[in-house]
């Protein structure tokens, strides 16, 4: 896609224009029986990704829940949500009561929230867990519920404990659970498709040991047959003792499927995507979906290099730190143009522009420094900030002090470096892709050419940058221009070009993240 078209697409997202397409498709033959993917009517919006779905058997509708606990009811009664509350952990799932007049939400910390006629019977909130809770299931026989953690540990509240995998070594984490029709047992499913049966649940097969295109994310019981379905993040459905009613496995989804719910007569099922997309298969009726910004739920760290107070505190910035197998200063003062415009101010301005553009797409953006008049932080601390928040991507923003005859930008990418305090080998591949996406977007938006003195084709693999060596998340460093070159210096001194530079960085990060999320 040409740069102008890509920038136009990105700009439409920045101003919040989300196109809603109408597509109501009725399949004519099995197994492709996808009934609908998007609604023609305006969709309710969520600023957080959808994390779960459950069906209302009484009405034939369904509820979607977002990670902030916002509940969206389609053909089902709205009974309340935690959307306006500050939660200690994101919501991981939803389960309806047996009469469908209420539901429970569960957080990753095991906290339980009860709405409608759902009784609160206890939770794991406030208890230190070995692993996060990933799902909740209703025991219709007792009116209680079970929680399951990613290690397969099961917590029963007003429901009989039938066993768990909490003491076993699993090949992949557990991602969900489903009760049997008589609630005398339950199945657990792992991301590799392995199934574990407890109580009166019958083991009918699994995908464990089979190479999968995408990981399994959820399961649902077929109460009519006693079987079950598994669903992968690409919407591929695997049936065991249950009829296959179709899947989205052959489609390209903007974001992965996160949950599955069967219809009342078990003649179909709904799949819910993290982007709020709803896919109805078999006799499941499409009744609506949710609009979610493309980067909702993703954290991006922007690291504006240096700081305005560094020059006044050499005792801090000159202290040595371990950059991952070599020693470097905590930080430096950076460079400046001949007219005296400092790099640290440029870096911060560009980071703010990129932050605004990314936040408009729903991303949570963390800056490694809050202003341009403090000291540091040190390079190793900057890397740790991205690691600690589990950033989906991190970018260090700089301008270079190269030779006066040199022009252009370069994106520094990590190479494999293993030291006594670091090992970046796992992020080298995704960081290279981030660097490539950033290079293409930055050049297309700003018009700045790749550097004629550093790297090749705008990419410069480096092993001497602690900020890259110490990262455990995909990370690159961009030298946006050469401040020692008169032409490039004029660009960095221009507020409008700094805005373009921020948009170019944001577009590159967005392209990278959306490609990762697409399945």
What are the catalytic residues? 479
d(CA 435, CA 66): 31
d(CA 199, CA 36): 37
> And the tokens for 145?
């519920």
Q: Which residues contact 511 (CB under 8 A, 6 or more apart)?
A: 6, 437, 440, 441
> And the tokens for 168?
């076993």
For residues 109 and 124, the answer to whether their CB atoms sit within 8 Å is yes
What are the Cα distances from residue 88, in Å, to 104, 126, 148, 431? 17, 9, 18, 30
For residues 309 and 295, the answer to whether their CB atoms sit within 8 Å is no
**Total H helices, total E strands in the chain:** 8, 28
d(CA 478, CA 487): 18
For residues 314 and 341, the answer to whether their CB atoms sit within 8 Å is no
> And the tokens for 456?
């090749």
Nearest-5° Cα angle at 140, 134 to 145: 30
Nearest-5° Cα angle at 179, 177 to 185: 110
For residues 259 and 135, the answer to whether their CB atoms sit within 8 Å is no
For residues 483 and 399, the answer to whether their CB atoms sit within 8 Å is yes
Q: Which residues contact 234 (CB under 8 A, 6 or more apart)?
A: 213, 214, 248, 249, 251, 253, 256, 257, 519
DSSP 192-228: TS-EEEEETPPP----TTS--SS-EEEEEEETTTTEE
SS3 124: coil
d(CA 57, CA 53): 13
């Amino acid at each position: 896609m040409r740069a102008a078209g890509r920038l136009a697409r990105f700009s439409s997202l920045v101003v919040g224009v989300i196109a809603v397409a109408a597509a109501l498709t009725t399949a004519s033959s099995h197994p492709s029986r996808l009934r609908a993917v998007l609604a023609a009517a305006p969709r309710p919006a969520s600023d957080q990704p959808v994390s779960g779905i459950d069906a209302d058997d009484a009405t034939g509708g369904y509820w979607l829940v977002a990670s902030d606990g916002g509940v969206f009811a389609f053909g089902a009664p709205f009974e309340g949500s935690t959307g306006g509350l500050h939660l200690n952990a994101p919501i991981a799932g939803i389960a309806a009561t047996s009469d469908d007049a209420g539901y429970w939400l569960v957080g990753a910390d095991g906290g339980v929230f009860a709405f409608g006629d759902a009784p609160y019977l206890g939770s794991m909130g406030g208890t230190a867990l070995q692993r996060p809770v990933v799902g909740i299931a209703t025991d219709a026989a007792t009116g209680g519920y079970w929680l399951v953690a990613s290690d397969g540990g099961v917590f029963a509240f007003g429901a009989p404990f039938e066993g768990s995998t909490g003491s076993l070594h699993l090949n992949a984490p557990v991602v969900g659970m489903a009760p049997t029709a008589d609630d005398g047992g339950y199945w657990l499913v792992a991301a590799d498709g392995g199934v574990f049966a407890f109580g009166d649940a019958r083991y009918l097969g699994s995908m464990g040991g089979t190479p999968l295109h995408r990981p399994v994310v959820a399961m649902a019981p077929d109460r009519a047959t006693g079987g079950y379905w598994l669903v992968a993040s690409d919407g591929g459905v695997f049936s065991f003792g249950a009829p296959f009613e179709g899947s989205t496995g052959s489609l390209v989804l903007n974001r992965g499927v996160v949950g599955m719910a069967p219809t009342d007569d078990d003649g179909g099922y709904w799949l819910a995507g993290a982007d709020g997309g709803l896919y109805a298969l078999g006799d499941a009726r499409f009744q609506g979906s949710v609009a979610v910004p493309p980067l909702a739920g993703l954290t991006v760290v922007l690291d504006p290099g240096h700081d305005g107070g560094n020059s006044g505190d050499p005792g801090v910035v000159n202290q040595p730190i371990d950059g991952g197998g070599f020693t470097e200063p905590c930080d430096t003062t950076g460079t400046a143009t001949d007219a005296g415009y400092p790099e640290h101010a440029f870096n911060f301005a560009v980071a703010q522009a990129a932050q605004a553009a990314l936040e408009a797409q729903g991303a949570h953006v963390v800056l490694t420094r809050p202003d341009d008049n403090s000291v540091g932080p040190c390079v190793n601390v900057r890397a740790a900030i991205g690691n600690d928040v589990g950033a989906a991507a991190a970018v260090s923003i700089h301008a270079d002090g190269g030779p006066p005859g040199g022009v252009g930008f370069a994106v520094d990418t990590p190479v494999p470096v293993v030291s006594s305090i670091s090992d970046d080998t796992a992020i080298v591949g995704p960081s290279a892709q981030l660097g490539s996406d950033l290079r293409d977007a930055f050049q297309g938006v700003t018009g700045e050419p790749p550097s004629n003195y550093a790297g090749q084709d705008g990419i410069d693999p480096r092993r001497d940058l602690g900020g890259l060596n110490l990262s455990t998340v995909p990370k690159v460093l961009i030298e946006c221009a050469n401040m020692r070159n008169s032409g490039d210096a004029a660009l960095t001194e221009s507020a409008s070009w700094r805005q373009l530079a921020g948009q170019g960085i944001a577009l590159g990060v967005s392209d990278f993240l959306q490609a990762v999320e697409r399945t």
